[in-house]
A and B are shown apart, each in its own frame.
Chain A
Amino acid sequence: MTTLHDQLNELAGPLTQPSPEQVDADVARGRRALRRRRALQATGGSAVAAAVLAAALTYGTVGSNPPVPSTAAGSSAPAATTPLRLVAFQGEQPEGYTLDTIPDGWEIQGVNAYRLTLAPIGASDQEPDSFAGKIVVMLQSDEGFVPEGTTVRAGDRSGVLVDSPDGLARTLWIKHSADAWVLVQVWSGLGMSVDDIADLAAGIHVHADAQPGHG
């Protein structure tokens, strides 16, 4: 009697070596995919985040309210000449996260299962899905992408700091679990050094109820 193993092997077909053209095409497809992924990543880590960022840059706000055009820098962005200083976070901890520190004079502007937005107290831009001039923390599902940038130590964790090609933001990627990264995106011009970003990220703890974005 022919075994199932034999039949499956027959169905699988012969072991045919690929042609040089096939191999070259595989490499070319990989390169194109990597370029696309890096372009997306540089603007926030996912297609969703990229879309949100694009909207934020263009309109200043996104969400249920009609978008209102604003300047690209965002009206709430503080002057770059004043470095931010991290202080102990004293307020009520947001659902899904625990913060050890926060920039002095800043507050939690909004939090949901997908992102945590930090902004200056009394910022004119009160839309938490607008990230210009702010700091946003997100979970990003790990879909095999490996961020490439500067390796940064954030407490007892290692991260990778990625600059967006347009220079608008820096994003620190820290592995959260086997399935997800924590992304801390800091808008340019906030006066935060790499050490500041690492210190802030080291004090951000993401709980199990936060939801990763996919992109």
Chain B
Amino acid sequence: MTSERDAQFHSFVVAHRAAMVRTATLLTAGDQHLAEDLVQSTLTKLYVAWPAFRRAANPDGYVRRTLVNVLTDEHRRGWRRRERPVAVLPDEPAAETVGGELTEGLRAALRDLPPRMRAALVFRYVYDLDVAATADALGCSEGTVKSQTARALDRVRAVLGPVSSVLA
């Protein structure tokens, strides 16, 4: 440790990185490579803005907002189309996927959603954020959250069928 910032940031990463990877995995429609990139970029931004982050009234909201901003920025830059050189061919391509047939269908459904619509779905239905907190994370109006979430659900239902009564 060379500074107080480093020490605080180190502790934050140890405590929160795992949860950030899970969120990022959903925001990237289950792509764990992209999720790792997203988390790395987000953590880097947090380190640079560490004093502001420490002063934030809602640190969780700050992290969510940064994740979404990085996701949106990288999507604009064609992140999803970027090739990823690897040292060796993977033996089992399926090893990086999680879950069974249902999850694979969900992954495909999420992949077809625009990133911010996907984020609205994730924040509303995984983290149970209310509309206001989701709007804060996405940097948009509450009305936009409602419409984006409704459209996301329609599109997921179109792929998966009636997924659950909790979506009503």
- Give residues 93-121 of A contacting B (CB, 8 Å): none
- Assess whether B166 is in contact with A26, with CB atoms less than 8 Å apart: no
Other-chain residue from B51, B66, B98, B164 in contact with A1 (beta carbon distance below 8 A):
B164
Instruction: Give the distance to chain B from A140, nearest Cβ to Cβ, in Å.
Output: 14
Counting chain A residues whose Cβ lies within 8 A of the other chain, the interface size class is 20 to 34
Q: Which residues of A contact B6 (CB under 8 A)?
A: 27, 31
A68 within 8 A of partner (CB)? no
- Known contacts A11-B106, A16-B18, A18-B18; is-contact A146 B13 (Cβ 8 Å): no
- Assess whether A12 is in contact with B43, with CB atoms less than 8 Å apart: no
A81 within 8 A of partner (CB)? no
- Assess whether A3 is in contact with B164, with CB atoms less than 8 Å apart: yes
- Assess whether A7 is in contact with B163, with CB atoms less than 8 Å apart: yes
| Least CB separation from A147: chain B residue | B51
Other-chain residue from A9, A11, A23, A144 in contact with B52 (beta carbon distance below 8 A):
A144
A79 within 8 A of partner (CB)? no
A91 to B13, CA, bound (A): 54
| Least CB separation from B105: chain A residue | A7
Chain B interface, number of residues (Cβ within 8 angstroms)? 44
A34 to B26, CA, bound (A): 28
Other-chain residue from B10, B25, B40, B163 in contact with A11 (beta carbon distance below 8 A):
B25
A10 to B99, CA, bound (A): 6
| Least CB separation from A144: chain B residue | B49
| Least CB separation from A24: chain B residue | B10
Q: Which residues of A contact B66 (CB under 8 A)?
A: 144
- Assess whether A12 is in contact with B49, with CB atoms less than 8 Å apart: no
Q: Which residues of A contact B164 (CB under 8 A)?
A: 1-5
A103 to B23, CA, bound (A): 53
- Assess whether B13 is in contact with A23, with CB atoms less than 8 Å apart: yes
Other-chain residue from A3, A22, A31 in contact with B47 (beta carbon distance below 8 A):
A31
**Top 8 A-B pairs ranked by shortest CB distance?**
A30-B47, A144-B49, A3-B164, A12-B22, A18-B17, A10-B99, A13-B98, A4-B163
Chain B positions within 8 Å of A, measured between CB atoms, are 6, 9-10, 13-14, 17-19, 21-23, 25-26, 30, 32, 40, 43-52, 66, 98-99, 102-103, 106-107, 110, 122, 125-126, 156, 162-167
Give 7 CB contacts A-B under 8 Å.
A1-B162, A2-B164, A3-B164, A23-B14, A26-B17, A33-B47, A146-B48
